[in-house]
Amino acid sequence: MPAPRIVRPGADEHIAYYGKYITLVPGDDAWPALEFQLDETLRLLRPLDEKAALHRYQPGKWSVKETVGHVFDVERVFAYRSLRFARADETPLPGFDENKWVPAATFDQRPLMELVDELRTTRAATLAMLRGFDEDAFGRGGAANDAHITVRAMAWIIAGHERHHRQLLRERYGLS
């Protein structure tokens, strides 16, 4: 079955905060970004050794490893929310505090290539789930962290969030 087209969400499908991620995704269909842009992120990460993966661009900021873990944690949260709403579950979902999650995850104690593999497999699972949604599912939404959001918007946010952190890895961590 061909991948569904995931058209750009309207401003009424998410809170303004998420617009910064959505605008990072090129084109009028999120699917190509979701399917192919992760390769660029993986190319940035694979050459790093363990010492480089522990680099922080400033004291108190996340390491490269912590950034990678944060990206797949957020993708999982948004994929879970997407599944719930796509299945017409209208139960309001809570928010989460990434600044508490990252230290609790102890990403710096894990090998970088293990984290890279988890990022890759998380995206593969997200893609498999999204492939199963029809147009109606992408239009469904609900309350997450006390704000309305649609499944379509979350697909774009997943792509834009990864792209945002890839840019930070280049600009602030000096990866190329």
Could you tell me the CATH number of the domain that includes residue 92? 1.20.120.450
Residue 3 lies in a domain: no
Residue 115 lies in a domain: yes
Contact assessment for residue 100 and residue 29, using Cβ atoms and an 8 Å cutoff: no
The stretches in the chain having pLDDT less than 50 are: none
pLDDT tens profile 138-162 = 999 999 999 999 999 999 999 999 9
The pLDDT value recorded for residue 1 is 65
Structurally, the chain folds into a number of domains equal to 1
CA distance 9 to 81: 16
Token pair belonging to 51: 């010492």
Full-model pTM: 0.97
Instruction: Give me the domain span that covers residue 50.
Output: 11-171
Token pair belonging to 24: 């990072």
The pLDDT value recorded for residue 3 is 74
Element (H, E) at 74: helix 64-86
What average pLDDT is seen over the chain?
97
Contact assessment for residue 104 and residue 118, using Cβ atoms and an 8 Å cutoff: no
Contact assessment for residue 10 and residue 2, using Cβ atoms and an 8 Å cutoff: no
Residue 5 lies in a domain: no
| CA nearest neighbour of 65 among 80, 49, 43 | 49
Residue 43 lies in a domain: yes
